[in-house]
Amino acid sequence: MKIMLTLFSAAALAFASSHALAGDPRAGESKAEACIACHGADGNSPAPAFPRIGGQYESYLLHSLRGYKSGDRPNPIMADIVKDLSDRDLRDLAAYYAAQDSGLYVPRRGQ
- The pLDDT score that the predictor gives to residue 109 is 77
Distance CA 50, CA 71 (A): 19
> What's the start-to-end Cα distance of the chain, in Å?
56
Q: How long is the chain?
A: 111
Model pTM score: 0.76
* Nearest alpha-carbon partner for 43 in 105, 97, 99: 97
Cβ-based neighbours of 78, under 8 Å, separated by 6 or more: 65, 68
Distance CA 14, CA 9 (A): 9
Mean pLDDT per 10-residue section of the chain, whose length is 111 residues: 56 49 93 95 92 96 98 97 98 98 76 59
CATH topology of domain 23-98: Cytochrome Bc1 Complex; Chain D, domain 2 (1.10.760)
